[in-house]
Amino acid sequence: MRIEEIKILRGPNYWSIRRTELIQMKLDLEEMEQKPTNTIDGFSQRLATLFPSMYAHRCSVGKPGGFFQRVEEGTWLGHVIEHIALEIQTLAGMETGFGRTRGTGEDGKYFVVLSYIEEDAGVYAAKAAVRIAEALANNKPYDLTDDIQCLREIREDTRLGPSTGCIVEEAAKRGIPHMRLNKQSLVQLGYGVNQKRIRATIASTTGNIAVDIACNKEETKNLLEAAEIPVPRGTVVRTELGLEEAVAKFGYPLVIKPIDGNHGKGNTTNIINWEQALKAFEAAKVYGRSVIVERFITGFDFRVLVINYKFICAALRTPASVLGDGQHTIQWLIDETNKDSRRGFGHEKVLTQITVDGSTMKMLEDIGYTLETIQPKGELVLLKTTANLSTGGTSNDVTDEVHPANIVMCERIAKIIGLDICGIDIMAQDLHTPVNENGGAILEVNAAPGFRMHIEPAEGLPRNVAEPVIDMLFPDRSNGRIPIIAITGTNGKTTTTRLTAHISKAAGKKVGYTTSDGVYIQNQLLMKGDCTGPLSSQFVLKDPTVDFAVLECARGGILKNGLAFQFCDVAIVTNVAEDHIGLGGINSVEQMARVKAVVPETVFPHGYAVLNADDDLVYAMKKDLKCNIALFSMDEKNPRIQEHCNAGGLATVFENGYISILKGTWKIRVMLAKDIPITFEGKAVHNIANTLPSVMATYLFKSITIEDIRTGLQTFISSSNTTPGRLNFFHFKHFTFLADFAHNPHGLRLLGDFVQKLDYPYKVGVISGTGDRRDEDIRELGAISARYFDEIIIRCDKNLRGRTAEEIIELLQEGVRSVNPDLPQMVIANENLALEYIYANYKPGALYTIMCDVVAGALDKIKELKDREGY
């Protein structure tokens, strides 16, 4: 078996709208296509032995053991690989269960689709599942241990930490979108101008100065001491002599730690002699020249969490430790402790397994113990210097025990330092009496405090500490979103996108929009090229100046990665026609309609899908949508429009020369179509059709008025700057170029209809075919061209996409000959040479219509010729 391709889907996609995180693997079964599972001796038994937990897989049978039943009856290995990939992720602590295996349309080749929790782990699981299935089929032993451990390590390396993760999960509950901005913990919550950012538990609202103070332990201590907050006596030293003076002044026991450390790094506690002090001094200096020496405060280690300057919760923390039983070694006790079902690898469970490291060995050595020591019964031996959960420590929630005076003190501390998300470390006998009365002290104030001890305490009540963070960042239950209009279809997407964005801009919106020729932020071109995929949409949604997004969403991006957004406010589907058929596993126009339907399926229930009532495939999408429907049509008397509006629905239509909005039985005439520049006095019928959904989509927003729409329509001029590659005229002294991106039969017919209405004595078509299209599609381009033009010049695209130039030319010529064998035609394969030929050999008064492949390149060449003419 051979993996041909793996795609990572990160948003709504062809396979699922709500299960957005999927791996799509294209798998060639090769000779195994002829061997379903019931023909492979012992396969089902070996599978069940290796994966007994797979009994829970119901599969299409719909009951436990259902998948094993399918295997015994006979299924293909692609289906088995899907289930294996899901199961090994679950065994590694990433429970997930959505999968699909479908044929690609090619013999023996399948799309194996499976959900993932962490995408790198999903890719690994897909590849490992193929190896495992091959071993089972060939009756070879296979040990899962390495794969499971590798998946666990990938998960820990790539997942958001529990603190960041719980904030993101809480945001999702509130309908706030998020985007991970790096491979660590930097996350954007919300879109555009309404976005906030978090990095671990530092928020974009957190003050720089406050974080700087919290990271400087001496400065923190001085501020607190000045405010009559109890802190340990201590000083800062830089030399061994300074350490000697500190020891003499404060006596033992001591704590030594770096001045700007965090998470307990470089800290040594309960130092009782000079040798320990010297070692601790050197350990702290690894993290900076300045070192704090403090009196060691005895008591219990508490963490208090203050968010938005309000007390939220408190926890008692205990470092990783073992309790002696008088019979077993310390190593045995560690191993037994790690058998607790609540302990796991990294952050996969409530508690983390205890690992023995250099710090552990040093602590044991300091008390004269080794791992083989049998400690007395009842003796507690600490194994780590800090109580961090990530090193095996435990936490008990004590929120309800905290004395009101301590709550006031902690809220004061947060204000004094200026931290809106603040973790306060307190050493005291308890928190149910005031700290300033029980001999306790504030040890540290932490920026980016960990939340895990509060959301998953070993004992006590879990606290939803993410909720107050989200309430702080997004007050009044706001969701951080900006309006999104998403546009898809076969033809007309880019013009509709540009016009919609232009109308929105006329209404005062700060618009970001994506098109097939680039990404624009407030009309500034910031990215060039085909930008109709999810990365380009994310570019807009990440921009902090954008308050309104108009996103062109093409087939390629949906199939490759899915959409960049989970929900949109308005979706437009212009039309569905035969283009890109046979690519990416899409082998019919009906399947293509399913791809396009992904976009309207993301519309909020309160939003609108704007659908073409003149297109059967587009209109049929409405039956599966859970949102409001608005229609558009070139025919006011379209029965679908009449039925929809009689029921009180909304529509835009072309009637009696007007672009009109229908609200139930009422009519609002927006503008005469011939007065809209991009319609070229009504001759460009396809641009009238493109105007209809733009008018409806913008009308649906209360903040955009009819006058805004009229202004936008009147000021949107078709040119190589505003609509590159869409009906761009270049008038030379003795002839005219018309450049257009028409690249499929449907688009070329629309272009031909427009050209036919133009008053030119002679019309030449400069045509090409796209190499990855079907033979019949390329022939059809030739045939359509022969119906509209007086002469044909055949050129070739720069990217032949898997064919030879000779193949494409011959197919185009076959199409031309099928309509008019005597039509004058010539071949100039290079586009620039073809344009040069026309410039040197033009027919006076002729219109030369060129189908652009690379729009920018063709336009640049035509502009170069235009400049040359001026000399």
- Give per-residue pLDDT as tens, 464-475: 999 999 999 999
Does the structure show a pLDDT above 90 at 581? no
* Percent residues over pLDDT 70 in the chain: 99
For residues 363-391, average pLDDT:
88
Q: How many CA atoms lie within 13 A of 686 on its CB side?
A: 23
Dump pLDDT digits (tens) for 455-494.
999 899 999 999 999 999 999 999 999 999 999 999 999 9
Whether omega for the bond prior to residue 434 falls within 30 degrees of 0, making it cis, is no
Which parts of 636-707 are beta strand (E)? 650-655, 658-663, 666-672
Dump pLDDT digits (tens) for 17-38.
988 899 999 999 999 999 999 9
787-818: burial string, b at 16+ Cβ within 10 Å, e else: ebbbbbbbbbbeebeebebeebbbbbbebbbe
State the pLDDT at residue 262. 66
Kindly report the number of other CB atoms within 10 A of residue 545's CB atom.
Answer: 10
Whole-number average pLDDT of the chain? 94
Dump pLDDT digits (tens) for 250-299.
899 999 989 876 666 788 888 999 999 999 999 999 988 899 998 888 88
Tell which wins on pLDDT, 428 or 269.
428
601-633: burial string, b at 16+ Cβ within 10 Å, e else: bbbbeebbbbbbbbbebbbebbeebebbbbbbb
Pairing of strands 234-237, 291-295: antiparallel
- In this structure, what token pair is assigned to residue 120? 């790198």
Helix or strand holding residue 213 (H, E): helix 208-215
Q: Give me the sheet containing 603-612, strands edge to edge.
A: 524-528, 518-521, 511-515, 548-552, 484-488, 568-573, 603-612, 628-633, 650-655, 658-663, 666-672
Dump pLDDT digits (tens) for 675-713.
999 999 999 999 999 999 999 999 999 999 999 999 999
For residues 552-578, average pLDDT:
96
Measured CA angle at 688 (ends 685, 689), to 5 deg: 90
Task: Give 751: exposed, middle or buried? Use CB within 10 Å, 0-12, 13-18, 19+.
Answer: buried
Does the structure show a pLDDT above 90 at 525? yes
* Percent residues over pLDDT 90 in the chain: 82
Cα of 206 vs its chain's centroid, Å: 25
State the pLDDT at residue 742. 87
For residues 553-569, average pLDDT:
96
Q: How many CA atoms lie within 13 A of 105 on its CB side?
A: 9
Pairing of strands 178-180, 99-103: unpaired
- In three-state secondary structure terms, 493 is helix
Give φ, ψ of 271 to 5 degrees: -80, 125
**Which amino acid is it at 41?**
D
Dump pLDDT digits (tens) for 293-317.
988 888 899 999 999 999 999 999 9
Helix or strand holding residue 730 (H, E): strand 728-731
For residues 862-870, average pLDDT:
89
Does the structure show a pLDDT above 90 at 593? yes
Q: How far apart are CA 323 and CA 318, in angstroms?
A: 13
Dump pLDDT digits (tens) for 755-793.
999 999 999 999 998 888 889 999 999 999 999 999 999
Residue 583: pLDDT band (50, 70, 90) is confident
State the pLDDT at residue 263. 63
Length of the chain counted residue by residue: 871
Kindly report the number of other CB atoms within 10 A of residue 395's CB atom.
Answer: 27
Residue 348: pLDDT band (50, 70, 90) is confident
Q: How many CA atoms lie within 13 A of 184 on its CB side?
A: 5
Q: Residue 600 carries which DSSP code?
A: G
Q: How far apart are CA 451 and CA 469, in angstroms?
A: 11
Dump pLDDT digits (tens) for 526-549.
999 999 999 999 999 999 999 999
Q: How far apart are CA 407 and CA 783, in angstroms?
A: 81
**Which amino acid is it at 279?**
K
Does the structure show a pLDDT above 60 at 871? no
